[in-house]
Structure 1
Amino acid sequence: MRKFISVLVIISLLSGCGSQLSFSKISEKDVNRDIQSFIHDVKNENGAYLYFDNQKAIYVYLNGTNVKQGDKAVHFTEFNVEEEGDTLNIRYSNAETNDYSNQSLNYELLYKVNLDKKYENVKLFNNSEEVSYDVISGNQ
């Protein structure tokens, strides 16, 4: 009887360990060399960048650190992901400022999105408007 109960407990624990769609803000130093190299290659241009990592995760790099004199600086205020059928929607918001030295603003962000399944489309939205990625790379 103990073996039977033990097996039931193990099965119930394992069935609760399914992958879920989630995301987290991470540091560039916490990713592997391939992703660091990708970020290094695009770091000199502002934009939104997507890196696929073996169909298990994607990395979204948002860069607003490059400011031309006289232009406003871009900083990022929100980030979210949501599933819509076979489409993954990545949503972020940004704003502009003249305060270049404000260290509390996010001029550059890196997010890891843990995938729960394979998506047919990965759409990007900035301030609720659909936009294109500046560069898409990775390994499948």
Structure 2
Amino acid sequence: MKQFILLILIVCGILTGCGGNKVTISEINLEKTNDIVKNFIMDVENDEKGTGSGIYMYNDSKKRYLYLNQNFLDDGKEFGDIDIKTDKNSINIYLNDISNSEGEVGTYKLYKINVKGDYEYLKVFKNGEETHFEGIGT
């Protein structure tokens, strides 16, 4: 019986450890990033003309940072939820804005995306429609 339980634990450990390609996303505070990411965001804000998509990506080895500024938002909207899905060759990021019910809107959102595996495409969607990155830095 003990050998059977041990065998089950080993199999579960192997299956958990061999998760293959996996991508996770989490919201982070700007102060918790390194100076290179902070400088990229400062450059974006200094160069911003106010007419872009407001969606930016910074690539740092296996970590990627997704930055959304005010230009992402339509009038009367605030930052909504985010979801990330993968398929064989692509990472798909789904962003939403929602109606602003409180009158107060955040000035930006910053996310860290951890990537395991290789993907050929990186796509971004706003409210279900494919859009584009305003800028990508490395």
TM-score (norm 1): 0.72
- Which of 19, 33, 39 lines up with 2:41 in the alignment? 39
Q: Distance in 1 between matches of 2:17 and 2:80?
A: 33
Pick closer, same or farther for the CA change 1:133–1:77 going to 2, 3 Å.
same
Q: Is the 8 A contact 2:55 2:72 kept in 1?
A: no
SS in structure 2 opposite 1:118? coil
The ranges of structure 1 where at least 4 consecutive aligned residues each deviate by more than 3 angstroms after the TM superposition are: 17-20, 95-100
Q: How many residues align?
A: 123
Superposed, 1:7-18 pairs within 5 Å as: 12=13, 16=17
Instruction: State the identity as a percent.
Output: 31
Shift of 1:21: 1.4
Q: Distance in 1 between matches of 2:83 and 2:107?
A: 17
Match of 1:95? 98
Match of 1:130? 130
Q: Distance in 2 between matches of 1:65 and 1:49?
A: 11
Unpaired segments ≥5 residues, structure 1:
none
Shift of 1:99: 6.3
Unpaired segments ≥5 residues, structure 2:
1-5
Q: Distance in 2 between matches of 1:114 and 1:53?
A: 10
Describe the superposition over 1:60-105 as per-residue Cα deviations: whole angstroms up to 9, x where unpaired. 00111799xxx935421011111021100011001354965x2xx4
| Alpha-carbon RMSD | 3.2
Shift of 1:42: 1.1
Q: Is the 8 A contact 1:91 1:124 kept in 2?
A: yes
